[in-house]
């Protein structure tokens, strides 16, 4: 089964991410520990064999599904399949997950090396030997049937899962420690611990964007 | 008689504070607004608290999530743990759940989510009148003695109580152990839309916390505090009361069904409330 993913981010300032970063810095982190916090949307499509990625982009832009090109940047990338199953059955998240750029309104991230990691370039994180980037893909439990919303889709029977992708850049180079710390900051288990994910209504997978750090591509999920 | 002082907590984006203050005054209670950026120790001067409805911090991240981390909520937790009652209405309920005050079985632990409504063929915000009933085997301070079905207003997009805690799931399986639940006019539990406006399992509309002195309540009692606020065509005795009051010409100051929850604060006069 093949899969696509739309990566989407607003063109303006992300006030949600800014507010969340401010709350984390005010209440939960040491000074300078949280270098940055980004939020992206990921619209994951599985069961799209044989369909042209351009058709998916056209369907989205024509009917304002998930993004509006006037307000959002977007890219449609090829994804490893298995993410939706992982979300539903708590099985391991596919790794590597997002690989190849297909359609985007950001020619600046296009590369002649199509096998390079799409997520790393999409996130646009600056190289910094003193920091580690950690991503959390977050989905809601108890969604309805997992099907597409009504619309003229190239593959109407494709499975669909919307995700929020939080990217925390943390001070320090220990990848294992950074992943554990990112989960601690993100998962709301206590009033004084965690903000971005509610474990009673959401599932998540935590991973480091490939190519950024040693031990790249390791993925953990609860 | 010394008036009880009740604080209405305000965070940026809440929008029901004035109505809430008005209803507290209607109930005979002295009330004042305490804003998010005030010294939390000011809360010591109050006998009870209400967090009203709205959209604190524009519901950024999740409804109630940002406000729940604030110093004012830390101050509120201290007051609640000392035994003072707290009523959270709609977004206030979401803040209480995110703060761990509800259900509050272990200090600060977050055991419940308020997630988006899930009803067939519709998404998003739901506003309208529903019927609610209080469980009869809870120790909820606010619903004590409320033994009738009453109509009330809801207005929310994320009102579905959700937990993965087996003990809590077990407790909420019994309607009488829910602080409040959506029901039909005859009192039967409402499992389906529209009587159940958000798809909450068991029709849970309110959940108590700590030893019962904290209530996270999704409907808006301040929008049903006067009888004139009740629709003419509402089914059940409250509709009949409204019609009778109109016929008598004294509907203007007649109490509505939502007032009783706020009047619960008045019982503090009997236990040494300031």
Tell me: the pLDDT tens digits for A102-125? 677 777 766 545 445 677 778 888
Identify from A200, A203, A222 which residue to disrupt to test chain B contact, counting B C-beta atoms within 10 A and taking the largest count: A200
Cis, bond preceding A203 (omega within 30 deg of 0): no
Higher pLDDT, A207 or B38: B38
The residue among A39, A6, A221 whose CA lies nearest residue B62 is A39
Chain B residues whose CB is inside 8 A of the A136 CB are none
State how far the alpha carbon of B165 is from the alpha carbons of B105, B112, B162, in Å.
Answer: 11, 8, 9
B136 touches chain A (CB under 8 A): no
- In the structure, what pLDDT confidence band is assigned to residue A144 with cuts at 50, 70 and 90? low
Q: Is A182 exposed, middle or buried (0-12, 13-18, 19+ CB in 10 A)?
A: buried
Chain A residues whose CB is inside 8 A of the B77 CB are 191
pLDDT at B273: 42
Active-site residue list of B? 90, 220, 222
B133 pLDDT more than 60: yes
Inter-chain Cβ pairs, chain A and chain B, closer than 8 A: 67
A138 touches chain B (CB under 8 A): no
- In the structure, what pLDDT confidence band is assigned to residue B262 with cuts at 50, 70 and 90? very high
For A189, which of B68, B110, B163 is closest by C-beta distance?
B110
Q: What is the ipTM of this complex?
A: 0.92
Tokens representing residue B230 in the block: 């009740």
Higher pLDDT, A93 or B200: B200
Edge-to-edge strand list for the sheet holding B204-209? B30-35, B5-10, B48-51, B86-89, B214-217, B204-209, B180-183, B126-134, B150-156
- Mean pLDDT over each residue of chain A, to the nearest integer: 85
Query: Domain extents for chain B?
Result: 5-117+126-227+253-268
Tokens representing residue A118 in the block: 């799409």
pLDDT tens per residue across span A51-78: 988 899 999 988 888 999 899 999 888 8
B176 pLDDT more than 80: yes
Higher pLDDT, B273 or A103: A103
Fold of B5-117+126-227+253-268: Rossmann fold (3.40.50)
B1 pLDDT more than 70: no
Among the listed ranges A12-26, A63-77, A79-93, B159-173, which one has the minimum average pLDDT value? A79-93
A47 pLDDT more than 70: yes
- Mean pLDDT over each residue of chain B, to the nearest integer: 94
A101 pLDDT more than 80: no
Beta-strand runs (E) in chain B: 5-10, 30-35, 48-51, 86-89, 113-115, 126-134, 150-156, 160-162, 180-183, 204-209, 214-217
pLDDT at A153: 92
Which whole number is the average pLDDT over B66-88?
Answer: 97
pLDDT at B271: 52
């Amino acid at each position: 089964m093949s899969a696509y993913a739309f990566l989407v981010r607003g063109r303006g300032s992300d006030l949600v991410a800014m507010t969340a970063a401010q709350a984390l810095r005010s209440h939960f982190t040491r000074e300078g520990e949280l270098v940055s916090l980004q939020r992206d949307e990921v619209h994951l499509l599985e069961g799209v064999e044989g369909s042209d990625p351009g058709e998916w982009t056209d369907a989205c832009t024509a009917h304002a599904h998930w993004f509006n090109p006037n307000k959002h940047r977007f890219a449609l990338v090829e994804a490893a399949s298995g993410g939706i199953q992982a979300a539903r059955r708590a099985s391991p998240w596919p790794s590597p997950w997002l690989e190849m750029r297909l359609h985007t309104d950001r020619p600046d991230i296009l590369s002649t090396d199509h096998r390079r990691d799409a997520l790393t370039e999409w996130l646009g994180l600056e190289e910094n030997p003193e920091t580690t980037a950690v991503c959390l893909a977050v989905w809601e439990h108890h969604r309805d049937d997992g099907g597409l919303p009504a619309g003229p889709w190239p593959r109407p029977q494709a499975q669909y899962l919307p995700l929020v992708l939080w990217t925390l850049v943390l001070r320090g180079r220990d990848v294992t420690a950074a992943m554990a710390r990112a989960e601690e900051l993100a998962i709301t288990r206590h009033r004084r611990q965690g903000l971005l994910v509610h474990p009673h209504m959401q599932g998540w997978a935590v991973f480091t964007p490939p190519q950024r750090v040693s031990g790249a591509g390791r993925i953990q999920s609860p | 008689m010394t008036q009880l002082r009740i604080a209405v907590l305000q965070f940026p984006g809440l929008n029901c504070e004035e109505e809430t203050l008005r209803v507290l005054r209607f109930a005979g209670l002295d009330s004042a607004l305490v804003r998010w950026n005030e010294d939390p120790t000011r809360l010591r001067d109050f006998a009870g608290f209400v967090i009203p409805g709205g959209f604190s911090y524009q519901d950024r991240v999740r409804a109630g999530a940002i406000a729940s981390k604030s110093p004012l909520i830390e101050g509120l937790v201290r007051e609640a743990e000392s035994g003072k009652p707290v009523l959270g209405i709609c977004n206030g309920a979401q803040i209480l759940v995110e703060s761990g005050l509800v259900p509050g079985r272990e200090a600060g632990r977050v055991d419940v989510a308020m997630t988006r409504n899930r009803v067939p063929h519709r998404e998003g915000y739901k506003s309208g009148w529903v019927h609610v009933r209080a469980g009869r085997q809870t120790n909820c301070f606010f619903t004590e003695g409320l033994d009738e079905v009453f109509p009330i207003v809801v207005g929310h997009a994320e009102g579905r109580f959700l937990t993965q805690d087996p003990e809590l799931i077990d407790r909420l399986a019994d309607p009488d152990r829910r602080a409040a639940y959506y029901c039909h006019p005859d009192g039967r539990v409402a499992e389906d839309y529209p009587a159940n406006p958000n798809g909450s399992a068991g029709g849970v509309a309110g959940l108590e916390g700590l030893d019962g002195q904290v209530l996270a309540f999704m409907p808006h009692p301040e929008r049903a505090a006067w009888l004139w606020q009740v629709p003419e065509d509402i089914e059940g005795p409250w509709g009949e009361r409204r019609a009778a009051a109109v016929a008598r010409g004294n509907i203007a100051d007649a109490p509505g069904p939502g007032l009783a929850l706020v009047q619960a604060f008045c019982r503090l006069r009997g236990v040494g409330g300031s």
